[in-house]
Amino acid sequence: MCSIFGYYSKKWQKAHIIDGTKRALEITKYRGPDFSDYLYFDKLNLALGHNRLSIIDLSPKANQPMGTEDKSLWIVFNGEIYNYLEIREDLINKGYRFFSKSDTEVILKAYKEYGYEFVKKFDGMFAFCLLDLQKRKLILARDIAGEKPLFYYFDGKNFIFSSELKQILIQQIRPIFDFSKVNFYFALGYLPHDMSFFKNTYKLPPAHMMIFDFESNSLHLQPFWEIPSFEKSMPEKELMESISEILKKSVKRRMISDVPLGAFLSGGIDSSLTVYFMKEAGAQKIKTFTVGFEGSSKNETEYSKIVANSLGTDHTEIIIEPDFEKALEEIADTIDEPIYDSSLIPTYYLCKYVKNYLTVALSGDGGDELFAGYIHYLSSKLCSKLSQYMPCFLRKIFYFMGSFLPEGYFGKNTLMGIGEGNYGCYTNQTQIFKEGERKKLIPYLNEHETPLRLKKALMEKYSGDFINKMSYADYHINLQQILVKVDRASMMNSLEVRTPFLNKDLIELSFRNISGDLKLKENKTKYMLKKLAKSKFPPNFPVDRKQGFDIPKDFLVKTNLMAKLKELPHVNFLNEKYITNLLVLQQKGKGNLWNKLFAIYFFKRWYLKWIE
């Protein structure tokens, strides 16, 4: 795991580009503390930089930027290619020789052999830039799920790419703030797909490759993979066997490491199955970690203990009464794009503690999106069925009733969802601030391009049932926010996190061959995974509970979040009276508004640091 950076300019000279590259590497040193270097290519006026966290092949031969023996190809790479040994063997059989044991060199020589098709061969999490000096092109690519970040800036005179947004923001180009994206953040809690808060600045979307041509000074984007449409659901028995076989293979591949490796274990199904298959793959005395909260009613480490005892892991319970106020400050100061999710705090603490023992940890992220694990799948399905049998006037009454309930009240989203019908059932359950609330928060809101249209467009693009359509939208929006959270929390502590559920074969199986009726069955979320877990764990393992590393709401009080929010200076386009009203409602206990307040706090902290 690392950070990468590249800077090409038709405007600035060598000294400026090198200085910008050095500063970009220094500001993300925590992502790769083991080695840092850059190369300047005089004929192109281009610099490539890299910070390395050594995971595979710890020798200097695997340092980056890395070039081929003839110096015609160069690469900076962040991530891991889990099937690199198989690809390496194929290339050796074709006559290639290797000077290192790294997966980085495999990428270089795979490109040499297969051209632009090379990226389709990789099972991994990755963001890289490959320089082809003979063709005078840069080839950038990002993994199919978007586990590893990759930003870029292009204004016709400057092209910059980076692992984190702040590496671009500290440059003298000074990107312009894009107000239109505020609407998306307060609806979704994150900017999905290619969006960023700055003009001419984008994320390379997951499963995309981008080519920058020095001759024409142009960019070309193209997808190299897409989620398949639904075809036919397999029988339950076959599905169980396929899921088990794919997960076992995926976990085994993700255990390749030259440094200490273990796993997060929340006691939920996804992380428990991950650890189970680690043992199946032959791991002995797996180091597992879970986080709990001293004195909290949500301290459920007993469930992770059941799994740990069952599998005989070397288990550590991290029971914390941490300085949440300090953690909140540290995270807000480091993260360069706002994220609403308060579970950033326990994830950060977990990674900080685990780093004392490991450099690589496996997690269960992705299972909820692939197998319908969220409660909004159940409620949205119920709303959708009810709305189908209601006349229009009755749906309007339900919507009217819901709209008058105070914010944060139980049932508000359900009533409004029934009133809006099929897609509304889902979108109302999965927004932080609904459209009417956003208009109160942001009086000058422009609704020309709305987050709801984005979600609806995603659901309409996928040809499958309603449950799978929701899953498809969550994969492209909710999962992206989770992956950013995990990437930043882990990388702040120089820890690599790997996600076996985000394997291409499992993703394709989930969307192509598992119907919504098998993902959501007997009024149970994640039916297939629960059935699999029942076959693997003792009878006292509670398969019907869901637990992640969420922060208990009573502990949010200890962050002094409300006081901190009051202390922050005003942001000119946010309605401070509305924010004050939310604070008063929360203080009086009228609704659960913590996510809204957390989203506002993080946005204001970010805006005041990076914009004002």
Q: Is the pLDDT of residue 397 over 80?
A: no
pLDDT score, position 329: 79
Residue 548 pLDDT more than 70? no
Q: How many CA atoms are closer than 13 Å to the CA of 543, on its beta-carbon side?
A: 17
Those residues whose C-beta lies under 8 Å from the C-beta of residue 188, and which sit 6 or more positions away, are: 431, 432, 451, 477, 481
Catalytic positions, written as ranges = 2
Lowest mean pLDDT, pick from 450-459, 487-496, 570-579: 450-459
- For residue 586, the model assigns a pLDDT of 86
Q: Where are the beta strands (DSSP E) in 214-348?
A: 218-223, 261-264, 287-293, 314-320
CB 99 within 8 A of CB 57: no
Yes or no: say if 48 and 32 are a contact pair by the CB < 8 Å rule. Answer: no
Count Cα atoms within 13 angstroms, Cβ side, for 68: 19
Please confirm whether the linkage preceding 65 is cis (ω < 30° from 0).
yes
Comparing CA positions, the residue from 69, 249, 48 lying closest to residue 161 is 48
With helix as H, strand as E and coil as C, how does 569-582 read? CCCCCCCHHHHHHH
Distance of CA 278 to the CA centre of its chain: 23
Segment 576-604 shows an average pLDDT of 88
Name which residue leads in pLDDT, 442 or 324. Answer: 442
What single-letter DSSP state applies at residue 207?
T
The helix (run of H) or strand (run of E) holding residue 39 is strand 35-41
Residue 255 has pLDDT above 60, yes or no: yes
Convert the pLDDT of each residue in 32-72 to its tens digit. 999 999 999 999 999 999 999 999 999 999 999 999 999 99
pLDDT at 267: 82
Mean pLDDT value across the chain: 90
| For range 243-269, the mean pLDDT | 95
- Position 171: which residue type? Q
Q: Is the pLDDT of residue 207 over 90?
A: yes
Cα-atom radius of gyration of the chain, to the nearest Å?
24
To the nearest 10°, the Cα dihedral for 59, 62, 68, 69?
-10
- Predicted confidence at residue 559, as pLDDT, reads 60
∠ Cα 54 129 1 (to 5°): 20
% of the chain surpassing 70 pLDDT: 92
Question: Does residue 217 come out as left (phi exceeding 0), alpha (psi in the -120 to 50 range) or beta?
Answer: left
Task: Report the C-alpha gap between 441 and 271 in whole angstroms.
Answer: 37
Residues 6+ apart with CB under 8 A from 98: 88, 91, 92, 105, 106, 109
Q: Which of 3, 7, 4, 5 is nearest to 44 (CA)?
A: 7
pTM, 2 dp: 0.93
For residue 549, is pLDDT > 60? no
**What span, in angstroms and rounded, lies between the C-alpha atoms of 491 and 513?**
35
Q: Do residues 32 and 148 make contact, with C-beta atoms less than 8 angstroms apart? A: no
Q: Could you tell me which residues are beta bridge partners of residue 264?
A: 289
Residues 6+ apart with CB under 8 A from 243: 506, 509, 528, 529, 532
Region 496-503: mean pLDDT is 98
Provide the pLDDT for residue 299.
60
CA nearest neighbour of 206 among 124, 85, 311, 290: 124
Max avg pLDDT among 93-102, 183-192, 306-315, 367-376: 93-102
The model's confidence at residue 447, banded by pLDDT at 50, 70 and 90, is low
Distance CA 402, CA 53 (A): 50
Contact 572, 607 (CB under 8 A): no
How many angstroms separate the CA atoms of 610 and 601, rounded?
A: 14
pLDDT band at 19 (very low <50, low <70, confident <90, very high): very high
What structural domains and CATH numbers belong to the chain?
A: 2-223 (3.60.20.10), 239-372+477-549 (3.40.50.620)
Give residue for tokens 């190809």: 73
Tell me which residue of 359, 357, 255 sits closest to 315, measured CA to CA: 357
- As a whole number of angstroms, the distance between CA 25 and CA 358 comes to 24
The pLDDT score that the predictor gives to residue 603 is 94
CA 556/CA 230 separation, integer angstroms: 41
Question: 10 Å Cβ neighbour count for 390?
Answer: 16
User: Which of 20-24, 30-34, 46-50, 385-389 comes out lowest in average pLDDT?
Assistant: 385-389
In the structure, what pLDDT confidence band is assigned to residue 265 with cuts at 50, 70 and 90? very high
Handedness of CA 209, 213, 214, 219 (dihedral sign): negative
Distance between CA atoms of residues 271 and 363, nearest Å = 6
User: Per residue in 104-133, pLDDT tens?
Assistant: 999 999 999 999 999 999 999 999 999 999
Q: Is the torsion defined by CA of 580, 585, 588, 591 positive or negative?
A: negative
Beta-bridge partners for 315? 288
Q: Which residue has the higher pLDDT, 180 or 448?
A: 180
Q: Summarize pLDDT for 352-384 with one digit per residue, the tens.
A: 999 999 999 999 999 999 999 998 888 888 777
Distance of CA 536 to CAs 137, 240, 531, Å?
50, 12, 9
Identity of the amino acid at 461? K
Q: In which element (H, E) is residue 512 found? A: helix 504-513
Share in percent of the chain as helix, strand, coil (round to 5) = 45, 15, 35
144-178 tens-digit pLDDT: 999 999 999 999 999 999 999 999 999 988 889 99
Higher pLDDT, 415 or 334: 334
Q: What are the residue ranges of helices labelled H in 115-233?
A: 166-169, 182-188
Among 12-21, 212-221, 341-350, 565-574, the range scoring the smallest mean pLDDT is 341-350
Instruction: Give how far the C-alpha of residue 409 lies from the chain's centroid of Cα atoms, to the nearest Å.
Output: 29
Tell me how long the chain is.
612
Residue 410 clears pLDDT 80, i.e. is over it? no
pLDDT value at position 557?
59
CA dist., res. 450 & res. 457, Å (int): 11
pLDDT (0 to 100) of residue 595: 86
pLDDT digits over 305-349, tens only? 889 999 999 999 988 766 667 777 788 888 899 988 888 888 998
Closest CA to 478 of 496, 510, 455: 455
